[in-house]
Amino acid sequence: MKKQFTYASAFAGIGGMTMGLKPLGGIGIGAWEYDPTEKRRQYAQDAHRLLHPDIPVYGDICKAK
């Protein structure tokens, strides 16, 4: 049995860190991704939500509480 642990992804992109940690027993508790150059749509956020629907995606990490 794998030991479970939790993690959060800063600057998450499409979730590469999640793809590596999930098979090792990782449980994602949140991901922060924001591209300030993309004014109309945050494609990395959309991709992360699609690939990892169980992990909430937040916007700008500078606004994290």
- Measure the CA dihedral 49/28/17/8, to 10°: 110
The continuous run of DSSP H or E covering 8 comes out as strand 5-10
What is the structure's pLDDT at 61? Answer: 86
pLDDT by residue (tens digit) across 11-20?
999 999 999 9
- pTM confidence score: 0.81
pLDDT bracket for residue 51 (50, 70, 90): very high
For residue 60, is pLDDT > 90?
A: no
Amino acid at 44: A
